[in-house]
Amino acid sequence: MIYTVTLNPAVDLLLYIKDLDPGKTHRAHKEYIFPGGKGINVSRILNRFHIPSTALGFAGGFTGDHLADRLNREGIQTRFIKTAENTRINIKIKNEAETQINGPGPNLSEKQILDFLAAFDNIDENDWVVLSGSKPASLPEDFYQTLVEKLHRKQTPFILDTSGEELRNGILKKPFLIKPNQEELEELFGKKHNTMEDYLHSGRKLLEMGAQNALISLGQEGSLFFADDNIYKARVPKGKAVNSVGSGDSMIGGFLAKYLEKKDLLESFRYGNMAGAATAFTEDLASCEEILSFKKDITIEKIK
């Protein structure tokens, strides 16, 4: 079974307005409501390829009920620990730019945390786990590390998509794949990345630190993939992106979907870029048909 972990899921409210003038009343001319959270996005992309997964996390209140119901109606199994407080709402306001206002997430009790860990302990070496996104402030600082260590002890393959110290510590436990973007990479190594050589040096360093494979997403500049001594660069179609939120999560979903089918890293890299590019040009996460339509538009070259 594939498990995706979203410790601080959300209901995403996307509002389109003509102009954003602080202090004034605005009327949106278009709105969408989507399930939110990085791990949840991965589950939804896997579902596009008819690959079942179980979404783990915390959810509660009317927003938590809506989230679980929406995912269940899409055919995605959920195993959320019930919280007393509402699942957060993340507001995304779109006009010429995008403004995001993210809720803080619930205050979790000790019992809720222990219940989650008990469910997590049922995962074994035959499963796959995707750990991604932020965590509520009420979780212990080292909670990600606790989860990663449990997976490492059981030799459960896992994908890690987070940032900062959680990424730094998690790499040491040999994740199958990590997917930092430019900002996360610069935060991890404490320096700006201005040249291709900067990215190549950091990508190699990620493998030296413990990652089995590393996918560095570069937005409209495509992405880099590091596997053993091989380095590949993918080029993606350029254009005005519609969806800046789920593209990276779609990359992970597309990569994992193809890897589980073929066990071919390079083809998985291609499908990850297809999924990421397709989602960038859609309001919600891309459909399977939209993802497959990008196959001819992704070019991959071996750098080293």
Q: For 112-146, give the DSSP string.
A: HHHHHHHHHTT--TTSEEEEES---TTS-TTHHHH
Where do we find the tokens 């996104």?
A: 133
Write the burial class of residue 144 (CB in 10 Å: 0-12 exposed, 13-18 middle, 19+ buried): buried
The closest alpha carbon to 3, from 115, 128, 121, belongs to 128
Distance from C-alpha of 99 to C-alpha of 92, rounded to nearest angstrom:
6
Active site residue 249: yes
Where do we find the tokens 């199994």?
A: 77
Where do we find the tokens 């083809």?
A: 267
The closest alpha carbon to 171, from 122, 221, 205, 133, belongs to 205
End-to-end Cα, the chain, rounded Å: 35
Distance from C-alpha of 222 to C-alpha of 235, rounded to nearest angstrom:
5
Contact call for residues 177 and 211 (beta carbons, < 8 A): yes
Distance from C-alpha of 149 to C-alpha of 169, rounded to nearest angstrom:
10
DSSP E strand boundaries for 121-222: 128-132, 158-161, 177-178, 213-217
Of residues 69, 121, 198, 249, which has the active-site annotation? 249
Catalytic positions are: 249
